[in-house]
């Protein structure tokens, strides 16, 4: 029975492996491009941008000719007419119809068309900058998920190497116990250490799966599609800008600040647009009508003329709308001041993190070198019979921690670099991957 169960399990595993999709190898730049194509927030902002562009077309349509067809039918009773020597002439008939074309063209709007178009165009520019900023945020999120997936897989390698070292130590202790030179207690302690490394390996595999799931969601990929990352360039020797220069650069480059500037200017144009509603309008109107013929009207008529309108009193409507637009402009202006403070804080925080990350990586690499040498000497001392198994356990633990510390520090400096790029508002870099893959 056990034989058949084993055979069934192997068959299921082979079937699952054959149906699984091959790993998709992506560089960071390719992952960012993939995310842009499939991200719903960008698609939503693009739709909003299209809406604003159509709003500009709507405003501009007010300055173009408008052609309209009109038709009407009326039944009137009683009929009226008067007699003449040549016959009866109708004045009112039962069935009356009128159909015609009306052409209107605005000749002067006294500010309405100008300010309305300017407000709409500036709103388009504002949404364009919002789209740019959202793209920068998405690039940052993808880079963070990409780096975390890479680090998680490196952690798996560290855990596997540490587990292999524990296995070797346990094997040596077992041989020594048989030879009578080691106690059972030492084997139990080593076995506990091996179990702890197995738990760390399981945790590292779980973190790797979570990191891959996060990246799959950002890229819009199915859960069954595994990902393969490429090595990222070393950022240890990057130079960081002066804090004052960095802040000024961020204030001039951040897309959301430019978006607010366009929105403020659009609000100012909206104020002028609402004020212009009290101005006169001047236009041309011409029409041609085909209708029921009576004694006092012909069957067709053409008329052309100009029309001048000036709203003398609207009950305060234009003034109220202008005040609303001014209040919206003030809110945007104050929001920009608050955002400037936030930008300064983000830039300074990113610079501090970059400097700390560089120092942390240098210390971690030195610590790894020392821990590797200590682990090598500890195993040699144990094999020579001058060291204890506890010494080997200690140096192996320190080596594993040092290796993990280097991976974490490398990820920290990458994340600090990306955080600085996001804080500065500069375009996301497109690093060329180093040869080899994670």
Beta strands in 109-237 (DSSP E): 227-229
The CATH number given to whatever domain includes residue 342 is 1.20.1600.10
Reported as a single tens digit per residue, the pLDDT across 310-352 is 988 888 888 898 999 899 999 999 999 999 999 999 999 999 9
pLDDT class of 427 with cuts at 50, 70, 90:
low
Cα–Cα distance between 132 and 254 in angstroms, integer?
9
Beta strands in 122-213 (DSSP E): none
Residue 50 lies in a domain: yes
Residue 20 lies in a domain: no
pLDDT over threshold 80, residue 68? yes
pLDDT over threshold 70, residue 412? yes
Residue 187 lies in a domain: yes
Placement of tokens 């034989």 in the chain: 3
Residue 431 lies in a domain: no
Candidate from 204-218, 247-261, 333-347, 397-411 with smallest mean pLDDT: 397-411
pLDDT over threshold 50, residue 213? yes
Q: Into how many domains does the chain fold?
A: 1
H/E run at residue 89: strand 87-92
Residue 18 lies in a domain: no
Reported as a single tens digit per residue, the pLDDT across 93-140 is 889 999 999 999 999 999 999 999 999 999 999 999 999 999 999 999
Residue 146 lies in a domain: yes
Candidate from 51-55, 171-175, 276-280, 352-356 with smallest mean pLDDT: 171-175
What pLDDT is stored for residue 436 in this prediction? Answer: 42
Residue 334 lies in a domain: yes
Cα–Cα distance between 257 and 131 in angstroms, integer?
13
Average pLDDT, the chain: 84
Residue 201, phi then psi, degrees to nearest 5? -65, -45
Residue 437 lies in a domain: no
What pLDDT is stored for residue 390 in this prediction? Answer: 73
Other Cβ atoms closer than 10 A to 306: 11
What pLDDT is stored for residue 423 in this prediction? Answer: 93
Name the residue range of residue 330's domain: 31-75+93-424
More confident call, 140 vs 80 = 140
């Amino acid at each position: 029975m056990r034989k058949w169960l084993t055979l069934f399990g192997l068959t299921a595993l082979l079937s699952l492996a054959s149906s699984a999709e091959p790993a998709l190898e992506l560089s960071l730049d390719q992952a960012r491009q993939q995310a842009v194509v499939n991200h719903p927030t960008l698609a939503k902002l693009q739709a909003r941008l299209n809406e604003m562009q159509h709003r500009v077309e709507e405003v501009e349509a007010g300055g173009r000719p408008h052609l309209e067809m009109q038709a009407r039918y009326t039944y009137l009773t009683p009929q009226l007419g008067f007699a003449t020597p040549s016959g009866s002439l109708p004045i009112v008939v039962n069935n009356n119809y009128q159909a015609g074309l009306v052409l209107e063209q605005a000749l002067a709007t006294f500010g309405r068309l100008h300010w309305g178009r300017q407000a709409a165009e500036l709103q388009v520019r504002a949404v364009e900058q919002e789209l740019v900023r959202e793209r920068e945020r998405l690039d940052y999120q993808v880079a963070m998920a990409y780096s975390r997936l890479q680090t998680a897989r490196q952690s798996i390698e560290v855990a596997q190497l540490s587990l292999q070292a524990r296995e070797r130590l346990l094997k040596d202790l077992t041989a020594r116990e048989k030879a009578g030179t080691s106690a059972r207690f030492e084997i139990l302690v080593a076995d506990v250490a091996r179990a702890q490394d197995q738990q760390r390996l399981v945790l590292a595999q779980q973190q790797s799966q979570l990191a891959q799931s996060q990246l799959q969601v950002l890229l819009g990929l199915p859960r069954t599609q595994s990902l393969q990352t490429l090595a990222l360039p070393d950022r240890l020797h990057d130079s960081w800008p002066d804090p004052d220069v960095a802040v000024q650069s961020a204030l001039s480059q951040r897309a959301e600040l430019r978006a607010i500037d366009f929105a403020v200017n659009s609000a100012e144009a909206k104020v002028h647009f609402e004020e212009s509603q009290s101005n006169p309008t001047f236009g041309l109107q011409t029409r041609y009508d085909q209708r029921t013929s009576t004694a006092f009207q012909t069957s067709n008529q053409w008329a052309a003329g100009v029309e001048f309108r000036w709203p003398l009193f609207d009950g305060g409507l234009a003034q109220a709308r202008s005040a609303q637009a001014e209040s919206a402009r003030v809110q945007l202006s104050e929001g920009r001041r608050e955002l400037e403070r936030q930008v300064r804080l983000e830039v300074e925080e990113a610079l501090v993190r970059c400097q700390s990350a560089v120092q942390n990586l240098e210390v971690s690499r030195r610590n790894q070198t020392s821990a590797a040498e200590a682990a090598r000497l500890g195993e040699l001392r144990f094999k020579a019979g001058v060291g204890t198994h506890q010494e080997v356990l200690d140096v192996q633990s320190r080596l594993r921690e040092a290796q993990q510390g280097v991976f974490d520090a490398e990820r920290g400096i990458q994340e600090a670099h990306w955080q600085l790029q996001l804080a500065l508002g500069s375009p996301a870099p497109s690093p060329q991957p180093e040869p080899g893959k994670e």
